Amino acid sequence: MPVRKTYKLFIGGAFPRSESGRSYVVNDARGGFLANASQASRKDARDAVGAARKAFGGWSGRTPYNRGQILYRIAEMLEGRRGQFVEELRAAGAAKGAAGAEVDEAVDRWVWYAGWADKLAAVAGSANPVAGPFFNFSTPEPTGVVAIVAPDSPLLGLVSVVAPAIVSGNTCVVVASEPAPLPAITLAEVLATSDLPGGVVNVLTGRRAELAPWLASHMDVNALDLAGAPADLAGSLEEAAAGNLKRVLRPGPEAGIERMTALLETKTVWHPVGT
């Protein structure tokens, strides 16, 4: 007799149940029962933001080289679970060949972003010419806590929003794909056994329409990625994000340096030229 698993949330490096005790049924592409997933609540969203904020100082304070090495190791671990990811994508409706190709592309994309960890400052920063006996440098710094509404491309889309958020030192809270949350939880299991500090990535499963507004209006969230927000929800989320002038990323290219630079702040420093 198969034991049907109820998947939990991923907050602060641990896998708690929703404080509400709620769960919802996840079906496969044919409508058959696949699993139960925790249905996160407003309290769970608050806890996830708190965990992300707590982890931000340590993660952003690491050297870019160290962050890159951690991300490279995560890519290796993703590849080690290739078979499980393929099965989950097939259950979500992907053909066998397409599922395998998506997993391979997701691993490649994670590696691509990992490679930017120690190069981003050189590309996004600059030494500025000024009139006077000064050095003037502009350096990129992470924005802070990023709330992400993940797209329904359950693995490649998820990697495409999580990796650029954390590679530069941000932490994040992710609302996983509502109809296909299992790859997000499997990714969380990979992160939990990697060297990524707890709280850098937090994964909530449940109803986007319930969770996203609380994250968009949360005063301790610094940026909002609407990659997976439906059009009828995105407008109200942007309005809620204006409360503390969050940066808002609208749906756009799946990959590219712009997804990283959009989550950076630029700090300019003046320094007198020594004699």
With respect to residue 243, please indicate whether it lies within any of the assigned structural domains.
Answer: yes
Helix (H), strand (E) at residue 24: strand 23-27
Domain extent, residue 112, equals 10-18+41-272
Residue that has been written with the tokens 């006077």 in this structure: 132
Residue that has been written with the tokens 């990714």 in this structure: 187
Angle value at C-alpha 84, between 209 and 170, nearest 5 degrees: 50
With respect to residue 28, please indicate whether it lies within any of the assigned structural domains.
Answer: no
With respect to residue 95, please indicate whether it lies within any of the assigned structural domains.
Answer: yes
With respect to residue 45, please indicate whether it lies within any of the assigned structural domains.
Answer: yes
Query: pLDDT (tens digit, 0 to 9) for every residue of the chain, 275 residues total?
Result: 666 678 999 999 999 999 989 999 998 888 888 889 999 999 999 999 999 999 999 999 999 999 999 999 999 999 999 999 999 999 888 888 999 999 999 999 999 999 999 998 888 888 888 888 888 888 889 999 999 999 988 899 999 999 999 999 999 999 999 999 999 999 999 999 999 999 999 999 999 999 999 999 999 999 999 998 988 899 999 999 998 899 998 876 666 788 899 999 988 888 888 76
With respect to residue 189, please indicate whether it lies within any of the assigned structural domains.
Answer: yes
With respect to residue 230, please indicate whether it lies within any of the assigned structural domains.
Answer: yes
Q: What is the CATH number of the domain that holds 63?
A: 3.40.605.10
Total structural domains in the chain? 1
Helix (H), strand (E) at residue 34: strand 33-38
With respect to residue 245, please indicate whether it lies within any of the assigned structural domains.
Answer: yes
With respect to residue 31, please indicate whether it lies within any of the assigned structural domains.
Answer: no
Six-digit token string for 214: 């609380």
Q: Beta strand 171-175 with 201-204: parallel, antiparallel or unpaired? A: parallel
